[in-house]
Copies of this chain bind each other. A is one copy, B any other.
Amino acid sequence: MADFASPTPSPLAFQRAAIAGVGLIGGSVALGLRERGLARRVIGYDASMDVLREAEALGVVDEVQAAPGEWLRECDLVVLAAPMGALGPLAHELAPFLSPDALVTDVGSVKAGIAAELDALGVRGFVPGHPMAGSERGGVTHARAALLENAVWVLTPTEYTSLTALSRARQLVEALGAAPVVMPPEAHDSLVATVSHLPYLVSLALTHLVARDERLSLLAAGGFRDLTRVASGDPRMSRDMVVENREALREALARFRRGLERLEADLERPGDLLAAAAEGKRTRDSLPVVRRSLLPPRHDLVVAMPDRPNQIGAVTQALGEAGVNIKDIEVLAIREEGGALRLGLETAADVARAAALLRGAGYEVRGRG
């Protein structure tokens, strides 16, 4: 029988996994592989010796390598996890040493470029990937296997991707606890241009409108803050993403501009504008709730809050006394239904325990995740 410390390798198990780029995502993949017994040995490679030392000290990897070399030939899984701008050069650096039987994947947030690059390099076992997970705090220090759990992980095979490689990549993603979604690289890039890169640029343009105007920032209330939050992201990472995806982004920008022009024209047709507003509300209200948080990941519990004093204190105190660790907390404004509190807990078991406790105290609760 397997115990927690040395889990039995799953049927998928890799002999030697190389994580090239041991940051937040690479480190989280390494931890997932180790904790779930998916690889016998996990080897970290990074351009920074400091990062490698930290990864080793934190037990994120079994061993480290400071340069590509023959050691790579024995790896049957290679994950390219460098920042966007460094992925291409990294692939070129490693390609000469890759085993033709290795499953190779990457975690870049734009896919068409890197997919074409690896196709051109003739890396046959390559399956481009994009785990849609992140955290406000980067670096291997904040890596956690749980970061990838329940994350949407897009795989974008090209015409050169073998079905065997794609199938193994899918299994890997599932074994790490994430949800694989398969689509062509161009489709992925067009989608993230619309839901991520366009919103970033829009947010930046809105933010620039209030720069150096005190009266504007005085009147800028909740709505404006919501729309400009992503402009507060890391400038270099944000810049690299939008530049890498500029082609798809330009198309998204063109669609957005046409939509905005239509709305501007509707200012003279109040009936049409009302219909557009109602359609927008319906669409927005039906979006699934997925929030990238400071403290990923979470097991959520939503507690309806009766309109009585100090309900936040009562709920957090009851859980604190029962030893339930509250990782995140959010006041939800739910129209017409009064307020609710969303609690981010550590484990599904915590959610079950907290739910039972609060139900017993007369609260209406709903678990999520």
Q: Which residue of B lies closest to A136 (CB)?
A: B333
Q: Given A250-B264, A330-B330, verify A224-B196 contact (CB < 8 Å).
A: yes
Q: Can you sample 10 A-B contacts with CB below 8 Å? A: A154-B219, A181-B215, A204-B277, A208-B276, A226-B229, A232-B335, A239-B270, A294-B332, A313-B319, A314-B320
Q: Given A221-B290, A264-B250, A320-B313, verify A295-B331 contact (CB < 8 Å).
A: yes
> What's the least CB distance linking A184 to chain B, in Å?
12
Q: Indicate whether A217 reaches chain B with its CB closer than 8 angstroms.
A: yes
Q: Which residue of B lies closest to A316 (CB)?
A: B316
Q: Given A223-B200, A281-B231, verify A286-B136 contact (CB < 8 Å).
A: no
Q: Which residue of B lies closest to A191 (CB)?
A: B219
Tell me which of B137, B223, B243, B274 contacts A335 (CB under 8 A): B137
> What's the least CB distance linking A256 to chain B, in Å?
6
Segment 70-101 of A: residues with Cβ below 8 Å from B: none
| B206 in contact with A281 (CB, 8 Å) | no
Q: Given A209-B252, A281-B232, verify A291-B222 contact (CB < 8 Å).
A: yes
| B205 in contact with A256 (CB, 8 Å) | yes
| B205 in contact with A259 (CB, 8 Å) | yes
| B267 in contact with A250 (CB, 8 Å) | yes
Q: Indicate whether A150 reaches chain B with its CB closer than 8 angstroms.
A: no
Tell me which of B132, B181, B206, B250 contacts A198 (CB under 8 A): B206
> What's the least CB distance linking A332 to chain B, in Å?
8
Tell me which of B136, B208, B220 contacts A287 (CB under 8 A): B220
Q: Indicate whether A360 reaches chain B with its CB closer than 8 angstroms.
A: no
